[in-house]
Structure 1
């Protein structure tokens, strides 16, 4: 089980004092959070991609490249890379470059985004969201796996004898997670290619999450990639912790009530009851996170949102200390004890490279 954090990079006023960080402060805070994640023993840091206020991470690979230079072990990912409005050629080049700089500590999560105006800003139509995701990813796969590509589709100019550079590190493309909250077509896409499926379940009830994950697992098996329990699944979550739950709830409530996404809606108590949000003690976070296995089966990656809604950097770093010291060690132990033999770990560059070498040897023996 990979355990990590993701940031959406929102620039939100602190509701307790009204102060809004500058963009520079927020960007540097994201770097500090990533460095802290490695320090406390987490596995993954992922950044969102947004092109509109109040968000700052418009260039994920720039941010991740800077973090790569200052870390040694942390897996660097996205949450999400916009496959609909970003050119597949640029995605192929940017992430291959990042692979080389980070010595392979790179994967990415593809998604369509949830901001309608972004589409026309990049010359696209939101009504083509699903077809764009399907076509652009088909091209991205070829760019990473074929040295010379001839291609023609609906949504971009044709390619003739095109080579994407640099080539993927060790000729092994980054692992891809397809992220969707509500679209079965994306679960189908992930299953078709045998890629990972990430459900960011911070806004949805467990019944919905279970249906989406079960669909992906069933179709993964249908396409011949292995039994359903070998499908690669990731989940989101959001936590806020203090030693006792009363203190956690009292401190987090103003941030929840004014959050740009879910603020001014259901109460904190209702939202916590219905979704993956956990506000309470470290033990409550452990218990609720372990319960995700009941709806998703044995899964490979758990990412927590820790820095949303105007929480000051000092508080976020305190939260990461609690996560690393009191929560993650227990989750590692419990998830490992529960995982049946045969359920794979989350793919890494090393494991993908080993699998490619094994496949090559098998082909040589057959030949």
Structure 2
């Protein structure tokens, strides 16, 4: 099972000091978080895509991820949102294949529609077309990665005639895609249809909703013949804040929660932690809470944590990464490994998918010899 962190890159005033980091500071801090994630043994670093304040997340995540790729050796780099609705599939095909080469294959994407309404008209799109855009654009993106000469015509962009996207995917293996959705069953269906991963970023939703969405994806994954329902590729999001003493964690995090631009001034922290995966407490409480997620959704392949939001000081965010890597994730790995059936796959990587492709080629060759 893969464990990692993701960032939304918000530039938020620290409610306890009144200070706000600059965009430059926030960007450099994000790189430091990724480097520390590798140092403490995490598996994945992911970044979102934003085009508006108060976010300093990259408008084009390939820029940040290429920069990080030059500074790490093992970490899988991912987007936590690539806007499949407002980005041109041709540009996505080219940019992420190029990044794949730079990162020696350690790159995947999480496709999403985006939850910021104004983004659509900024790029000449209509939010009411969100689902059809996601469906059409992704269908084209897949063809651009798997076919060398693409002739295509759709509704939302100009036609293509014998177009070849360059560079071609590394080793002929396109980046693995997770379809991220919070509430859209059509996206779960899309992930199942292609046999791709489904990532439910359930940071604002009760587990009952997450269970419903993941169950739909699993059923449809099996329906399309990609394997049994429990072999579907599932990822979850989460939020944690930890201190050795749970009372200290609650006391320290409360002002950040209460004033956060996303969920502040709404439900109490107690209500939010009860209804969503947000866990504020000791490392042991985080271990127990997240070990139980599989009881609702089944054995799954990727767990990402949001730990650097709401104006938390950089030093505090780095401490959270350290706690994840040294105290929480090692225990979660043991628990996940002990309960996972042998037929449930690990999270796909470039290396595992390349090995599978080579094995399939050899099997086909052996079959031809015996005919």
The bucket for the TM-score relative to the shorter chain is: over 0.9
State how far apart, in whole Å, the 2-side matches of 1:201 and 1:306 are. 14
State how far apart, in whole Å, the 2-side matches of 1:60 and 1:135 are. 22
Root-mean-square deviation (Å): 0.7
Aligned-residue offset at 1:323: 1.0
Structure 2 residue aligned with 1:209: 210
Superposition pairs for residues 162-177 of structure 1, below 5 Å? 162-177=163-178
Aligned: 1:9 with 2:9: yes
**Superposed structure 1 runs of 4+ greater than 4 Å apart:** none
Structure 1: unaligned runs, 5 residues or longer: none
Aligned-residue offset at 1:224: 0.3
State how far apart, in whole Å, the 1-side matches of 2:3 and 2:148 are. 34
Aligned-residue offset at 1:205: 0.3
State how far apart, in whole Å, the 2-side matches of 1:83 and 1:292 are. 28
State how far apart, in whole Å, the 2-side matches of 1:343 and 1:73 are. 23
State how far apart, in whole Å, the 1-side matches of 2:367 and 2:131 are. 40
Structure 2 residue aligned with 1:106: 107
State how far apart, in whole Å, the 1-side matches of 2:363 and 2:137 are. 31
Residue correspondences, number: 367
Structure 2 residue aligned with 1:247: 248
Structure 2 residue aligned with 1:186: 187
Offset from partner CA, 1:161-203 (integer Å, 9 cap, x none): 1110000000100000000000000000000000000000110
**Secondary structure in 1 aligned to 2:260?**
coil
**Secondary structure in 2 aligned to 1:202?**
coil
Aligned: 1:231 with 2:238: no
Structure 1 residue aligned with 2:132: 131
Structure 1 residue aligned with 2:20: 20
Aligned-residue offset at 1:315: 0.5
Aligned: 1:88 with 2:102: no
Structure 2 residue aligned with 1:313: 314
Superposition pairs for residues 329-348 of structure 1, below 5 Å? 329-348=330-349
Aligned-residue offset at 1:30: 0.5
Return 77-86 or 356-365, whichever deviates more.
356-365
**Secondary structure in 1 aligned to 2:292?**
helix
**Secondary structure in 1 aligned to 2:312?**
coil
State how far apart, in whole Å, the 1-side matches of 2:10 and 2:191 are. 28
State how far apart, in whole Å, the 1-side matches of 2:100 and 2:27 are. 22
Structure 2: unaligned runs, 5 residues or longer: none
Aligned: 1:34 with 2:37: no
Aligned: 1:147 with 2:148: yes
State how far apart, in whole Å, the 2-side matches of 1:18 and 1:274 are. 30
Offset from partner CA, 1:86-109 (integer Å, 9 cap, x none): 000111111101110010000010
State how far apart, in whole Å, the 2-side matches of 1:122 and 1:63 are. 21
Offset from partner CA, 1:294-337 (integer Å, 9 cap, x none): 11100000000010100010001111111111101101111100
Aligned-residue offset at 1:365: 3.3
Aligned: 1:350 with 2:351: yes
Aligned-residue offset at 1:241: 0.2
**Secondary structure in 2 aligned to 1:136?**
helix
State how far apart, in whole Å, the 1-side matches of 2:289 and 2:110 are. 24
Structure 2 residue aligned with 1:49: 49
**Secondary structure in 1 aligned to 2:125?**
coil
Structure 2 residue aligned with 1:199: 200
Aligned-residue offset at 1:264: 0.5
TM-score by length of 1: 0.99
Offset from partner CA, 1:322-353 (integer Å, 9 cap, x none): 11111011011111001111000000000110
Aligned-residue offset at 1:364: 2.7
**Secondary structure in 2 aligned to 1:91?**
helix
Aligned-residue offset at 1:363: 2.7
Aligned-residue offset at 1:358: 1.9
Aligned-residue offset at 1:2: 0.1
Aligned-residue offset at 1:68: 0.1
State how far apart, in whole Å, the 2-side matches of 1:345 and 1:172 are. 17
State how far apart, in whole Å, the 2-side matches of 1:3 and 1:314 are. 21
